[in-house]
Amino acid sequence: MNPRRLRAALYQAGLAAAVALVAWYFISNTATNLESRRIASGFAFLGREAGFEIGETTFIAYSAADSYLRALAVGLLNTFRVAAIGVVAATLLGALIGLARLSPNWLLGKLAAGYVEVIRNVPLLVQLFFWYAVIAENLPGPRDALQPLPGVFLSNRGIVLPAVASWLPFALEMPRLEGFNFVGGSALTPEFAALVAGLVIYTAAFIAEIVRAGVLAVSRGQVDAAYAVGLTRRAALRYVILPQALRLVVPPMTSQYLNLTKNSSLAVAIGYPDLVSIANTTMNQTGQAIEGIAIIMAVYLTISLSISAFMNAYNRRVALKGTRR
């Protein structure tokens, strides 16, 4: 064998042995500590009764008599709910803010720039506390609820919206005040509303810069050609500029979607029962910290890889033929 290849193989074997030795040390040390504290390892605890209530169970029924596994499933669905709504809303708001920064209207452009600079430089956790305080402590009670739109009420109980009562025929169920609270419609708790507002407003500031950079990256000749054939500014933006900018903004947008999903774990700070919050309660009750952390890591890793795979597939679809991304 070539001496250079032999040395490379020996180095790699040595590195693999060192990694295996470190892994063995940590696993052995962990097993010894668990045994000395009489803490059983494994995931058998998932089948035991949870014994605690969860404030928000939108998708599946849950009670304190259900298992820890079902409780974690509720937390996972709550995380999906926040991430899905957040990604869509942040994309729309970020695109609008990004285009506003490019507006020929001086005031609109400056307001959009101010939004981006302020929001990006204030920690997300601080913003979550701010929105929770605004919704839960500074909004009026249900009897004096604000009504910005017909059927939409803002109070310290959260946000109440019209709900679809029937898809065939399509009909809306409008909320109404009865006694000290609203009935009918769809209610968003202060914790959920604050979390979504904070994530959307924060992530939209970064998406706005991505959209702005993507539009500015389109060749000036393309823009001039669109105007030369008689397209209005709006038509040129829709049919010429944005389709080309889309190919540039998809990769960095993927990172923002991943960040929004992972940042949703800050929900524990304002009391929203997401996966991390419920896993923390589970770990406190069972002492299965290693298993709990492993579940959290596995779930977020799976979500992140799924989002990356979807966005990479979409990126390949919109990429110019013959180019590599």
Domain ranges of the chain: 68-318
Give the pLDDT mean for 225-245: 81
List all residues 6 or more positions away from 273 whose beta carbon is below 8 Å from its beta carbon: 54, 55, 56, 74, 75, 78, 267
User: Mapping DSSP to helix (H, G, I), strand (E, B) and coil, where does residue 181 land?
Assistant: strand
Query: Sorting pLDDT into bands at 50, 70 and 90, what band is 263?
Result: very high
- Of 299, 281, 276, which is closest to residue 50 (Cα–Cα)? 281
What pLDDT does 325 receive? 47
Long-range contacts of 54-61 (CB under 8 A, 24+ apart): 54/273, 54/278, 55/189, 55/191, 55/271, 55/273, 56/189, 56/191, 56/192, 56/272, 56/273
Q: Is pLDDT above 70 for 320?
A: no
Task: Specify the range with the lowest mean pLDDT, choosing from 5-9, 30-34, 318-322.
Answer: 318-322
How do residues 40-76 score in pLDDT, each as one tens digit?
A: 667 888 999 998 999 888 888 899 999 999 999 999 9
- Of 82, 50, 325, which is closest to residue 194 (Cα–Cα)? 82
Kind and range of the H or E run holding 171: strand 170-173
Give the pLDDT mean for 293-321: 86
Q: Where are the alpha helices (DSSP H) in the chain?
A: 3-36, 68-101, 106-120, 124-133, 190-217, 220-228, 233-236, 242-263, 275-286, 289-318
What pLDDT does 58 receive? 80
Give the pLDDT mean for 183-191: 86
Is the model more confident about 216 or about 111?
111
Give the pLDDT mean for 240-268: 88
- CATH number assigned to the domain covering 68-318: 1.10.3720.10
